[in-house]
Amino acid sequence: MVLLSFDIWHLSLNSMVKKDYFIGIDIGATNTKLGVVDDNGKIVNQDVISTKEYTPDELLLELADIINDFDFKIKGVGIGVAGPANVKEGKVYYFVNSPGWDNMEVAAKFKLLTKLDTYVDNDVNVMALAEHCYGAGVNYRNIICLTLGSGVGGGIILDNSLYRGNDFVAGEIGHIPVVPEGYDCRCGGRGCLERYVGNEFIVERAINKIENGRQSSIMGLVRGDKSKITPRIIDEAYRIGDKLAEEIWIETGKFIGIALVGVVNLFNPEIIIIGGGIAKTGDILFNTIYDIIKQRAMEIHKRSIKVIPAKLGEVAGIIGAAMLARQRIESR
Ligand SMILES: [Zn+2]
C-alpha cells in the first residue's frame, strides 16, 4: 500500500518535471535530418529522410507526421535551410539546389501542421549557433564560422549573438571577391571565393593543371577518368605525396585566407571555425589559412586569432536548428 502511493506520487512528480525538448530540422539538398534535442544540446532521437523524394509541401507534411508521433514535451521547432531565409517572417527566399521553395512561408506552414512554434534560418547561421552553444565556439563571444562544400557559407556571431544584417542574409563569406576580373559567379558577382574553393571549382583547378600537362597520381586514382575527380580524390593523392594535390590545397588555403584577412580586419573575431567536407583535409589547409592571416591581417586584429575545425560535424544542423527555436522562444 505504501509502495503504491509512493509510485503514484513518483509518477505525478515525473510528469510535473517533464523536460522541455526542441526539434531541430536540417533540410539539405539531398537529405533532411530531424532530431529531438534536450535543453543541454543532446540529441535524444533522430531520423533522416530523402529531400529529393518529396515536393517541398510533401516534405513538410512528412516531417510533421514524424513529429506528431513523438511522445516528448516539445516547445518549438527550428529549421535550417540550404539557402537564404528571413528569420523574422519565417520565410525561405530560395533554396540553392532545390526548386519549389521560392518565397515559401515555411514557419507558418509548419506551425499549421504541428501546432508548434517554428523558426527558419539559413543552415550556416544554424551551424554557427550550434558551434557557439555546444561546439568549438563555447566560451567565445566573437566568432566567424565558415563551411566549405559545394557552396561556401559563413555565419557571424558578434557579442554572443548571430549577426544577420538588414534582410537577414549577412555572412556570405563565399561571395567575398578574391580575384579582380575573376570568373563569373552564380551569385551575379565576379571572382568570388566560392568560385575558386567550392568543391566543383577545386576539381576544375586540378583538371586545368592536368590538362596543361602536369603529372599527378590523381589520374591513376580515377583510372584516367577526369569526371571521377572529387576533392576527396585530391586529398587521397595529397596523402600519398602527390605534389599537384599539395599545390591545390595550398592554393585553396590561400584563397580562403585572403578572404578571411578582410573578415578579421572587419570584425575582429576571437576565433574562426571551419567545417564542411574539405575541412577534413586538415593541417595543410588550416596552416595555410592561418599563415596568410598572420602575414596579412592588421597587427592587433591578428594577435590572438585562432583558426580551428568545427566540432559537431554532421549533427550541427540539428542541434543548431533546435537552438534557434530555443533562442527565439526565450527572447520573445
Ligand atoms: Zn559569388
Centroid of ligand 1 to alpha carbon of 188 (angstroms): 6
Q: Is the pLDDT of residue 323 over 80?
A: yes
Interval 64-80 mean pLDDT:
96
Centroid of ligand 1 to alpha carbon of 118 (angstroms): 30
Q: Output the pLDDT for position 10.
A: 47
- Residue 57 grid cell: 509541401
Centroid of ligand 1 to alpha carbon of 227 (angstroms): 24
Helix (H) or strand (E) holding 60: helix 56-68
- Residue 163 grid cell: 549577426
Q: Output the pLDDT for position 14.
A: 43
Centroid of ligand 1 to alpha carbon of 319 (angstroms): 28
Centroid of ligand 1 to alpha carbon of 191 (angstroms): 7
Centroid of ligand 1 to alpha carbon of 259 (angstroms): 12
Helix (H) or strand (E) holding 162: strand 161-162
- pLDDT tens profile 194-236: 999 999 999 999 999 999 999 999 999 999 999 999 999 999 9
Centroid of ligand 1 to alpha carbon of 183 (angstroms): 9
- pLDDT tens profile 82-138: 999 999 999 999 998 788 999 999 999 999 999 999 999 999 999 999 999 999 999
Centroid of ligand 1 to alpha carbon of 127 (angstroms): 21
Q: Confidence class of residue 35 from pLDDT cuts 50, 70 and 90?
A: very high
**Helix axes of 316-330 and 123-134: crossing angle, nearest 10 degrees:** 80
Query: Dihedral of CA 148/152/158/162: which sign?
Result: negative
Residue-averaged pLDDT of the chain: 94
Query: The whole model's pTM is what?
Result: 0.92
Measuring CA to CA, how many Å separate 119 from each of 87, 90, 106, 122, 329?
A: 7, 6, 8, 11, 9
3-state secondary structure 95-161: CCCCCCCCCECHHHHHHHHHCCCEEEEEHHHHHHHHHHHHCCCCCCCCEEEEEECCCEEEEEEECCE
Q: Confidence class of residue 17 from pLDDT cuts 50, 70 and 90?
A: low
Centroid of ligand 1 to alpha carbon of 196 (angstroms): 10
Q: Confidence class of residue 5 from pLDDT cuts 50, 70 and 90?
A: very low
Centroid of ligand 1 to alpha carbon of 27 (angstroms): 22
Amino acid code (one letter) for 114:
T
Q: Which residue has the higher pLDDT, 331 or 10?
A: 331
Q: Output the pLDDT for position 29.
A: 86
Centroid of ligand 1 to alpha carbon of 13 (angstroms): 55
Centroid of ligand 1 to alpha carbon of 175 (angstroms): 4
What are residue 79's DSSP bridge partners? 25, 120
Lowest mean pLDDT among 2-11, 96-105, 253-262, 291-300: 2-11
